[in-house]
Amino acid sequence: MATTNGLPTLNIAFEKAAEQVANRAKKGYVALMVRDEQDQGVHLMSSEALIPSKLGEDNKQHIKTAFLGSDRGAPSLVILAVIAPGTDDTTALKGGLKSLEQYSIDYLAGPPDVTDEELTVLTDWVKAQRALYRTVKLVRPWKTAGSDNMGIIELDETGMKDQYGALTAAEYCARFAGILAGTPMGMSATYTVLPELTAVTDRSREEQIEAINNGKLILLHDGLQAKIARAVNSLVTIPAKGNQDWSKIKIVEGMDLISYYLRTTIDTKWIGQYPNTYDNKQLLVTAISSYLRYLEQAGVLSAGESYVRVDYDRQLQWLQSQGVDTSSMTEQQVLEYQTGSWVFIRCGGRLVDAMEDFEVVFAAQAYGTAA
């Protein structure tokens, strides 16, 4: 008879109140893909100086855009996957994605000449990675139907120009990935300026609002400079246990930071390394609690609203599923009862948004009237 052991399980369930814990205390990692005959493979670059020298000049310039970031920050690492030229099929792209799976990635941009078929592959790959609690998010051009997914950011711009001429959304996804990855945890990318752009897609205010509400990342030009209108992802259908603000890139980044810490810390520091006793569960609670406090200080979570504890309800449910008679047990006895290899933790907090919407009223006083 087969057992039900399987692989060690790490269930991370996001709930409406504000998800689960912790943090990666660094700015983001960007992954890019380009096609070139030279220097194929994966390259890790912390600065422009490390861009592979044999790449074509167009590819070098494309990679440099990811390093630009914004006045709010720049990415700390660019992970480059150089794949073989050609767009007849998706073989090279799939190989490049396979090579990226071993890296921690925050934002991914496909090749500047990405095809529709490749966009489907990229989108499906990111969804699959996120289902494994990896925090990669895709920046891609918007097509006729939105992805409706908080891990997919869709740039809908057809009128971008710089001093050299027109730019496509696909060409500029690397630039946006760098901006988003470089944005600190306490800020959003809304109204981030792109000083090199001289024109963006011409939209009325009503059209801008409609595009944003449809999950499109767009730009506006205020007559002086181009900037991100609102930093949103493609999510428009809010899950039953979700919040409206899951459509905001900043909030999802906070959720991803929490998921990242839980996954990596439990994977590397806890699984298989401690006896599953109540005291050791409390040590894990303490470790998670310290990261929650850090997130509060960093402005990712609201101060004083975070919590973490051994999950009494799940522990009770598990004991009953194992045939344990809990009818005469106190709450503390349930919490301290041995639970095999399972550890049930509940934690949460309130994710903090950035200042984006203002109402400022100026009351002009008449002459001779006291304020």
Q: What is the pLDDT of residues 141-163, one digit of tens each?
A: 998 788 999 999 999 999 999 99
pLDDT of residue 213: 96
Average pLDDT estimate for 87-104: 95
* Six-digit token string for 258: 């929490």
What gap in Å lies between CA 9 and CA 11, rounded to an integer? 6
For the stretch 182-226, pLDDT in tens is: 998 778 999 999 999 999 999 999 999 999 999 999 999 999 999
pLDDT of residue 212: 96
Average pLDDT estimate for 269-277: 91
What gap in Å lies between CA 191 and CA 48, rounded to an integer? 26
**Per-residue pLDDT at 9 exceeds 70:** no
* Six-digit token string for 63: 């990679």
Average pLDDT estimate for 105-131: 96
Tell me the CATH number for domain 29-183+193-228.
Answer: 3.40.50
- CA distances 99 to 59, 180, 344, Å, are 19, 23, 34
**Per-residue pLDDT at 262 exceeds 90:** no
pLDDT of residue 2: 62
Q: Where are the domains of the chain?
A: 29-183+193-228, 249-348
Calculate helix-pair angle for 91-100, 116-131, nearest 10 degrees. 30
Give residues with Cβ within 8 angstroms of 350, minimum separation 6.
17, 18, 301, 302, 305, 306
CA dihedral 238, 240, 244, 246 (to 10 degrees): -70
pLDDT of residue 133: 84
For the stretch 16-61, pLDDT in tens is: 323 333 333 456 899 999 999 999 999 999 999 999 999 999 999 9
* The model's pTM: 0.86
Average pLDDT estimate for 103-117: 96
pLDDT of residue 341: 96
Taking the CB of residue 145, how many other CB atoms lie within 10 A of it?
A: 8
Share above pLDDT 90 across residues of the chain, in percent, rounded to a whole number: 71
For the stretch 283-325, pLDDT in tens is: 888 888 887 887 787 777 899 999 999 999 999 999 999 999 9
**Per-residue pLDDT at 257 exceeds 90:** no
Give residues with Cβ within 8 angstroms of 358, minimum separation 6.
none
Q: What are phi and psi of 141, to 5 degrees?
A: -70, 145
If phi > 0 it is left, if psi is from -120 to 50 it is alpha, else beta; for residue 18 that is: left
Tokens 């071993």 sit on residue = 102
Taking the CB of residue 117, how many other CB atoms lie within 10 A of it?
A: 13
CA 140-141-147 angle, to 5 degrees, is 70
**Per-residue pLDDT at 366 exceeds 90:** no
